Chains A and B, each alone.
Chain A
């Protein structure tokens, strides 16, 4: 009774070959596994980190570019076309994207960590080229989207912020190479705000409105609320950018953090309310890290507000960065990835003459559970280390993070192995 499925789409289909999104997911897990050893090696520098080349900045970009961006690319290339009923512009360009982005991001991280200006410049050039290519693919999808207008709006905001973040990165790297740049600190702040909040946070919120209700089996928050949160997030980012460039007083960054805090609280409150109303009580392990990410999002912006007001001048920036990147974005994205990877595997594990495996059997539970515990402990160690100005605590946290990175890599590799096994029975 089992039909043989077409492995690849005839013509342009919304469903990509499985190897396309999964190559990005494997890269994300590899960069994640590489980031923690870098942080371990530079643990003493973490609590008072305020920017500058070195392994701390390298570790940060291994996470933001390597893990978060790779996941965003893989997930959006597959899920956005399905949700918006608009096929990806070109599967070949999507494949080319991985080939440009992954080695370039690795080069950039290595160039930052050593630091090695030529390597950094080469990596940045390739990474920015990949970001522009991704912007083209994403922009094509958003411009032709036939559905999900609200998420499309989030996509456009993130699209603009991503390109501005890439532009500011180019200027900063040129400055590291000796070129003139007026007020590099302002550009560095703008890069952080654009990358972490304007791009990743807005995109994460837009995807949340589709993915969390689908996986938790519940409804989306009201459209008015979603748009209101987006408006507040855009206002917060704009205020933060104005604060970075126009005003040395803490008012603008403080106002940005205040508006952002309200937007984050409303977003998380609405999502949590819908999750509580879910129709299927069983949530699965993916939600643990999503919930942790939401808690960290709520926590990070008031910390940003305090830092803007002058609190903890030595360690405040590192604390804010660790909460925003490690606590919020990394927890949330790894949680979502741990659900969409087996889900997409279940879509593709159908070349078999046997019944295809369940999502649950495509999910290697032991490494996933181990990663969740290690991730939470690693985060606690790093945050405590920054708060106590203790390199030893950061190092202990990073050591747990190294183990967690390996566990997550084993998890992703396990999903791929089970998917390939399912398909090999055709």
Chain B
């Protein structure tokens, strides 16, 4: 999909990065009914990437949307769409906090099966929620930004996001 606004392009690129990582994370979880072996370097690398994304990047991305973009949707009479997206942010944040703790545990110490099952189930749920959430944003939010955000506004939003 072609976007004219830098704001949409930046969010779209971040969505792509997130989807690629979520895809790898989901595959790793589906292939591993048992906890990873201690010092499993591949798992540790993936778990660290996923934790970093969920802990910092996703929060930054969500905060920007909530503070700078959703009010524009509200003003345009699209509050039902922004409400759904805000609601999903809250859900993903809540699940992500727990998942990040479990991910850190997974590379810092051997995991018992019950804890691994918790991580795996929550991880697969977060992947599903994140993917569907991104699909909704790609379909409903980014096209709206293209229409609702002026060129001058776009520059200002891009700077705001870069500084966040």
Contacts and interface: CB of A to CB of B under 8 A. Distances in A.
Contacts of A358: 125, 128-129, 132
Contacts of A1: 90, 94
Interface string B61-84: 000000000000000011111011
A248 interface: no
B146 A146 contact: yes
Interface stretch (A6-14, A167-175, A377-385): A6-14
B143 A10 contact: no
A358 B140 CA distance: 19
Contacts of A281: 23, 26-27
A91 interface: no
B23 A350 contact: no
A14 B30 CA distance: 36
The DSSP consensus for interface residues of chain B is helix
A12 B81 CA distance: 12
Contact of A279 (B19, B78, B128, B129): B19
A20 interface: no
A165 B94 CA distance: 52
A14 B81 contact: yes
A147 B77 contact: no
Contact of A214 (B27, B30, B129, B135): B135
A381 to B, nearest CB: 35
B77 A214 contact: no
A12 to B, nearest CB: 7
A359 B139 contact: no
B83 A6 contact: yes
Interface stretch (A32-40, A78-86, A318-326, A416-424): A78-86
A146 B144 CA distance: 9
A24 B64 CA distance: 37
A294 B53 CA distance: 37
Contact of A280 (B2, B19, B94, B146): B19
Name which of A11, A14, A83 has the most chain B CB atoms within 10 A of its CB: A14
A282 interface: yes
Interface in A65-102: 79, 82-85
Chain B: interface size category: 35 or more
A14 B81 CA distance: 8
Interface in A331-364: 343, 346-347, 350, 355-356, 358-360
Contacts of B86: 3
Given A85-B147, A282-B30, A5 B81 contact: no
A350 B84 CA distance: 8
A53 interface: no
Interface string B98-139: 000000000000000000000000000100110110011011
Given A146-B147, A217-B23, A280-B26, A350 B87 contact: yes
B15 to A, nearest CB: 9
A214 B23 contact: no
Given A83-B139, A280-B22, A347 B1 contact: no
B136 A347 contact: yes
B49 interface: no
A129 interface: no
Given A13-B77, A281-B26, A346-B132, A217 B19 contact: yes
A355 B83 CA distance: 14
Nearest to A280: B23
Given A147-B147, A279-B19, A279-B23, A13 B139 contact: no
A217 to B, nearest CB: 5
B122 to A, nearest CB: 12
Given A5-B87, A146-B147, A280-B22, A217 B131 contact: yes
A223 B2 CA distance: 9
17 contacts: A1-B90, A2-B87, A5-B87, A6-B83, A10-B79, A13-B77, A15-B78, A82-B139, A83-B139, A84-B143, A147-B143, A147-B146, A279-B20, A279-B22, A282-B23, A346-B132, A359-B128
Interface of B: 1-2, 16, 19-20, 22-23, 26-27, 30, 77-81, 83-84, 86-87, 90-91, 94, 125, 128-129, 131-132, 135-136, 138-140, 143-144, 146-147
10 smallest beta-carbon distances between A and B, as pairs: A280-B23, A147-B143, A279-B19, A279-B20, A146-B147, A85-B147, A279-B23, A85-B143, A358-B128, A5-B83
Interface of A: 1-3, 5-6, 8-15, 79, 82-85, 146-148, 210, 213-215, 217, 220, 223, 278-282, 343, 346-347, 350, 355-356, 358-360
